[in-house]
Amino acid sequence: MIRLGSHPTPTKYLKESASIIRLPNMYNATSLAALAAVCQTGSFEAAARRLHITQSAVSQRLAALEHEIGRAVVQRTRPVAPTAAGEVLLKLARQVELATADATEALAAAGVAGVRSDGTTRLTRCALAVNADSVATWFATVVGSIARDGSMMLDMRIEDEEVSRESLRRGAVMAAVTSQSAPAPGCVVSPLGAMEYWPVCAPQIADAVAAAPERQPLVRFDMHDSLQHRYLEMVGALHEPPAHFVPSNHDFLAAVRLGLGWSVLPSNQAREEIARGALVRFDTSRSVAVPLYWQRWRIESPILDRVTAWVICAAAGLRGRPAA
């Protein structure tokens, strides 16, 4: 180590500096890119096509990573998935990709062309986790902004707002809409406001549902969807009602319209259906509010800054609503 006040010879300085700053081979950018491509596409073959190399070359680059750390970085399943060790390196790979894209933008702004040798513009993969209700309502504005920007490839994961924080922790996404106010490791948080949900059902079952919602079938998006149970807690329900599962925004709404069961819907979506006479708000005195937060990696990035600005602007309508 070089001590303060010492004056090493140039040769000694170079040797000591090299021992301090030399990166291990597992941080080789091409190997990290291969890991990211395999995990994003789900197979070695698809990763080879994305990287414009042979499948054998992809395997060799991952083998080099595994040799350096002494353990597997991916599970050879269909689709391919990262191991615990692979998740750590995958997060690094995505941060390197983002930093490279930011540097390319800066060079382009300085008059250096940010294109590849084949003349095509390099696009940054923007991995985001967003809950289905946000995608169906206010987040569509963000997708439009990304489309107009033209410098990003959107990789959007539809995840419940209560579990998207785990995707951030694993490095699967660089930012997420979440209901968790505590920042995930290595992330910063911005409050977005709250989504309000109304309890609704089809007119033909409204009387029965209003009388005893805990005894009538309900419709849930998936096992992570707890919004209906939050409403049941508010009314002091003592029974667990039967539940239908419909994991599709369009089909979910259709199922509620058809009277498959009652549910809670975003207020702006519910308001339109009620105005059309397709649904009834069977309890006008109660609503469920879900506070939302934007969590993003704690790194300096003009690209992430732009996406964050679009998200905060699009979520303006959520602010000022009461949080549950």
Model pLDDT, residue 114: 47
Strands, E assignment, the chain? 74-75, 81-82, 124-130, 152-158, 175-178, 187-201, 218-220, 243-245, 263-266, 280-281, 288-297
Model pLDDT, residue 140: 93
Q: Strand pairing of 152-158 and 187-201?
A: unpaired
CB 289 within 8 A of CB 324: yes
Strand partners, 126: 154
The dihedrals phi and psi of 81, each to the nearest 5 degrees, come to: -135, 150
Strand partners, 156: 128
Domain ranges in the chain with CATH number 1.10.10.10: 10-97
Q: Is 236 exposed, middle or buried (0-12, 13-18, 19+ CB in 10 A)?
A: exposed
DSSP state of 121: B
Domain ranges in the chain with CATH number 3.40.190.10: 121-194+291-318, 195-289
The DSSP annotation for 11-36 comes to HHHHHHHHHHHPPPGGG-HHHHHHHH
In which element (H, E) is residue 64 found? helix 55-69
pLDDT tens per residue, the chain (324 residues)?
A: 333 333 333 333 333 333 333 445 557 888 988 998 898 889 999 999 989 999 999 999 999 888 888 888 989 888 988 898 888 888 888 888 888 888 877 777 776 654 444 444 567 889 999 998 999 899 999 999 999 998 898 999 888 877 787 888 877 889 999 988 999 888 999 999 999 999 999 999 999 999 999 999 999 999 889 999 999 999 999 888 999 999 988 899 999 999 999 999 999 999 999 999 999 999 999 999 999 999 999 988 999 999 999 999 999 999 765 444
Q: Is 195-289 CATH 3.40.190.10?
A: yes
Q: Is 121-194+291-318 CATH 3.40.190.10?
A: yes
Q: How far apart are CA 186 and CA 227, in angstroms?
A: 29
Give per-residue pLDDT as tens, 75-132: 988 898 889 888 888 888 888 888 888 887 777 777 665 444 444 456 788 999 999 8
Model confidence pTM above 0.85: no
Q: Write down the mean pLDDT value for the chain.
A: 84
180: its two tokens? 């968790």
In the CATH hierarchy, which top-level class contains the domain 10-97?
mainly alpha
